[in-house]
Amino acid sequence: MGTATGSGRSDEVKAAVVEAIKVGYRHFDTAAFYGTEKAVGEAIVEALRAGFLKSRGEVFITTKLWCNSNERHLVLPALKKSLRNLGLEYVDLYLIHWPLKINHQHIKIPVPTEYVTAINIKAVWEAMEECQNLGLTKSIGVSNFTSQKIQEIVSFAKIPPVVNQVEMNPLWQQKQLNEFCKENHILLTAYSPLASTGNSWGNNSVIGCDVLQDIAKSRGKTTAQISLRWLYEQGVSFVVKSFNKERMMQNVDIFDWALTQEDLNKISQIPQRKLVYLLGFVVREPNDITAEIDSKL
């Protein structure tokens, strides 16, 4: 379950995480940038107190290193701050949120491009490895990384990344990146599996997709369930967010049925369109954005 929200209401996040634990969710994804770490930690404490969880070990917590801490000497302090926010001794997974550095403490969206610079990935990754060696995180990984950037890490890493969290859904299928990650024993995790519908940065492109709607209607499922089941069948994990109990339950009701080959063929032909672009870059044509990001990285 994802916890990125534009509402800024920690009480809402806390209540939703507790409800999700009751429904059966056990992996919770947060980040320093989201501002939801404290609410997630408080929800875990409440769930333990209420008996919904027997121990901390029953939940898997992911958080992320924000771009203003993408320097070697800042990584460990950033993780320690996240742990204080969460009220935990360790996280299960710590990710580099984006492969770049934002040279400004307080940012507004969009971030001016002059604030964005490349990072020393070797130095930052060595600091990530130190975090794992200290027992402050069980595993380390990356987010929004290309195969080229991951290959660079793999070339020198003592501890390779175990996860790459990226935007992925039937409208942005990430086929090549998924194959690369499988070949390198890296689990791809999909964020925005429903195109972040309901969030200020999202849209209705997945839920409103005619192909997915037709399949959902024929199968007696929701469009969201078709998208999530498709992701599951690609061999990836995913971070889905809903604070509505009924939809929480629907979103995990995807394991006792399967898509047909005809369904998969139809989904494979859906025109591809990326939703989430790098913070700080004006959304223009995708090729222009990609070229500008590449020049920074």
Q: How far is CA 261 from CA 158, 169, 222, 252, in A?
A: 40, 18, 19, 22
Closest of 63, 70, 9, 58 to residue 37, by C-alpha:
63
Separation of alpha carbons 168 and 128, rounded Å: 25
Handedness of CA 69, 71, 74, 80 (dihedral sign): positive
Separation of alpha carbons 65 and 295, rounded Å: 22
- Within the chain, where are the H helices? 10-23, 37-50, 72-86, 121-133, 147-156, 175-183, 210-219, 223-233, 245-251, 261-268, 286-296
Q: How many residues would you count in the chain?
A: 297
User: Which DSSP category does 53 fall into?
Assistant: -
Is 90 an active-site residue? no
Strand, coil or helix: what is 22?
helix
Strand, coil or helix: what is 112?
coil
Instruction: List active site positions.
Output: 34
